[in-house]
């Protein structure tokens, strides 16, 4: 998520407004472009947008997350909460400590650990609270990021390194512990659908006569997508947002992978909890008429724009999370939803102020910097309201201080 650029730039403006990549970096993007073009040709001249996004982000050695470019922080393309401030991970650690106590578990599994900074700050806080987990497992799709995570953890936490273990896939045996992820679900490839009064189509990616990427709309081939699209269309119509004007359409995303991922976790989670932080809405908000072009968003050097075909491999592509769908998938697989709240409420009730109690106001530089970080994490116009936290668990009823201030789970 970017550090709040003021405006979204429209696709036809991207080429003019953005800094030109160096020839070497442009060549990298061209290699990925050629790979995607080959896939499109080999697949009857179209691929789903989810396949396009998967290649653009994760094609081995070339995709945005798989290749070696700097992504997070000021020199990257966007900034995430653990990169904004260690306070975020420290608050998360305090909640993990409560879960570990209530579930009598001592294993943490972080999925999609990015630069590794959240793991560092989180385990340091658990060490300070004398609640070190026996193991801190990391499941990371990108080989490049996995290497960076190992480097930062080795250099910042040599005495704790042996507790860390990197996994290639979800554990096969029943898992007992906590699963945590920040901004994982929004980085999963989504399908795009186009809803009209009496029709549903999927947006595929094809090529024009100049070999440029173009949209091609036709019937969804995946029955799960068709079903999800029908549900969304029904919700849309019940909200009376699809009007009768000819040509009126509503484009949105469907994140089938997030649902499948959650099901796989639910299958192996014998006891423990899942704590997910991401940006998104309940279904009622997600499918609001004002979002008739969906929530698909690209981040390129702290510019936010809506053109996923721009420089593949050099920009992030992401979509917001429909948390009602996540909650429904959780219930379908035997998980209970114990908490759903905004990031601001989660942090404020979860120990943010206590963590800053000992700050020295006379150290003006540090004090101002921490105040800036807190504003960024909690203000509604920054990350405070758009980002949500959801707590899921099996069997054991859980209650966390971070959800006691405001728990919006009934809105899901």
Rule CB under 6 A: which residues touch ligand SAM? 65, 72, 80, 82-83, 111-114, 118, 139-142, 145, 182-184, 187-188
**Residue (14 or 66) nearer to ligand SAM, CB:** 66
- For helices 117-128 and 86-103, give the axis angle rounded to 10 degrees: 60
Task: State in angstroms the smallest separation of the CB of 63 from ligand SAM.
Answer: 9
Task: State in angstroms the smallest separation of the CB of 197 from ligand SAM.
Answer: 35
Question: Tokens in use for 394?
Answer: 């099996």
Task: State in angstroms the smallest separation of the CB of 392 from ligand SAM.
Answer: 17
Q: What is the DSSP string of 123-155?
A: HHHHHHTT---SEEEEE-S-HHHHHHHHHHHHH
**Residue (114 or 313) nearer to ligand SAM, CB:** 114
**Residue (140 or 233) nearer to ligand SAM, CB:** 140
**Residue (52 or 250) nearer to ligand SAM, CB:** 52
Task: State in angstroms the smallest separation of the CB of 259 from ligand SAM.
Answer: 12
How far the first Cα of the chain sits from its last, in Å, is 23
**Residue (72 or 286) nearer to ligand SAM, CB:** 72
Single out the residue of 313, 295, 376 nearest to residue 71, CA to CA.
313
Task: State in angstroms the smallest separation of the CB of 396 from ligand SAM.
Answer: 26
**Distance (Å, rounded) from C-alpha 190 to C-alpha 257?**
7
**Residue (249 or 257) nearer to ligand SAM, CB:** 257
**Residue (37 or 373) nearer to ligand SAM, CB:** 373
- The one-character DSSP state at 59 is S
- The one-character DSSP state at 387 is E
SS3 of 158-205: HHHHHHEEEECCCCCCCEEEEEEEECCHHHCCCEEEEEECCEEEEEEE
Question: Tokens in use for 334?
Answer: 């035997």
Task: State in angstroms the smallest separation of the CB of 354 from ligand SAM.
Answer: 23
Strand boundaries in 290-386, DSSP class E: 297-300, 303-305, 316-318, 321-322, 336-342
Question: Tokens in use for 302?
Answer: 């702290």
Task: State in angstroms the smallest separation of the CB of 61 from ligand SAM.
Answer: 14
CB 326 within 8 A of CB 259: yes
Task: State in angstroms the smallest separation of the CB of 406 from ligand SAM.
Answer: 23
Neighbours of 15 (CB within 10 A): 11
**Residue (141 or 256) nearer to ligand SAM, CB:** 141
Task: State in angstroms the smallest separation of the CB of 137 from ligand SAM.
Answer: 12
- The one-character DSSP state at 106 is -
CB 49 within 8 A of CB 192: yes
**Residue (56 or 195) nearer to ligand SAM, CB:** 56
Pairing of strands 387-393, 336-342: antiparallel
Bridge partners, 340 (sequence order)? 390
Sheet of 297-300: strand order equals 8-9, 303-305, 297-300, 316-318
**Residue (216 or 373) nearer to ligand SAM, CB:** 373
Single out the residue of 394, 398, 374 nearest to residue 384, CA to CA.
374
Single out the residue of 260, 124, 274 nearest to residue 189, CA to CA.
260
Task: State in angstroms the smallest separation of the CB of 36 from ligand SAM.
Answer: 18
Q: Is 220 helix (H, G, I), strand (E, B) or coil?
A: coil
């Amino acid at each position: 998520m970017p550090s709040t650029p003021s405006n979204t730039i429209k696709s036809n403006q991207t080429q003019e407004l953005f800094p030109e990549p160096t020839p070497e970096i442009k060549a990298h993007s061209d290699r990925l472009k050629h790979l995607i073009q080959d896939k499109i040709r080999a697949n009857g001249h179209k691929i789903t947008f989810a396949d396009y996004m998967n290649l653009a982000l994760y094609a081995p050695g070339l995709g945005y997350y798989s290749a070696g470019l700097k992504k997070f922080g000021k020199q990257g393309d966007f900034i995430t909460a653990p990169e904004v401030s260690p306070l975020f991970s420290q608050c998360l650690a305090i909640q993990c400590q409560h879960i570990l106590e209530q579930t009598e578990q001592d294993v943490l599994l972080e999925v999609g650990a990015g630069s590794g900074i959240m793991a560092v700050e989180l385990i340091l806080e658990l060490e300070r609270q004398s609640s070190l987990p026996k193991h801190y497992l990391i499941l990371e799709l990108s080989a490049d990021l996995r290497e960076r995570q190992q480097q930062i953890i080795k250099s910042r936490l040599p005495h704790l390194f042996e507790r860390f273990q990197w996994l290639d896939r979800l554990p096969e045996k029943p898992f007992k512990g906590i699963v945590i992820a920040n901004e994982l679900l929004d980085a999963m490839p989504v399908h795009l659908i186009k809803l009209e009064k009496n029709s549903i189509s999927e947006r595929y990616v094809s090529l024009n006569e100049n070999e440029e990427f173009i949209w091609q709309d036709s019937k969804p081939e995946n029955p799960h997508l068709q079903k999800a699209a029908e549900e969304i269309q029904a919700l849309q119509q019940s909200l009376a947002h699809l009007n009768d004007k000819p040509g009126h359409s509503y484009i949105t995303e469907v994140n089938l992978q997030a649902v499948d991922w959650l099901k796989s976790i639910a299958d192996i989670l014998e006891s423990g909890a899942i704590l997910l932080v991401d940006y998104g809405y309940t279904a009622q908000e997600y499918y609001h008429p004002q979002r008739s072009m969906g929530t698909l968003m690209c981040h390129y050097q702290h510019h936010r724009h809506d053109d996923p075909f721009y420089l593949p491999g050099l920009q992030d592509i992401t979509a917001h999370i429909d948390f009602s769908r996540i909650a429904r998938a959780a219930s379908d697989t035997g998980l209970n939803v114990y908490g759903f709240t905004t990031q601001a409420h989660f942090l404020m009730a979860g120990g943010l102020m206590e963590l800053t109690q000992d700050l020295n106001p006379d150290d003006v530089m540090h004090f101002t910097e921490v105040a800036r970080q807190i504003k960024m994490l909690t203000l509604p116009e920054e990350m405070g309201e758009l980002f949500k936290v959801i707590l899921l668990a099996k069997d054991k009823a859980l209650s966390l201080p971070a959800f006691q201030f405001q728990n919006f789970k009934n809105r899901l």
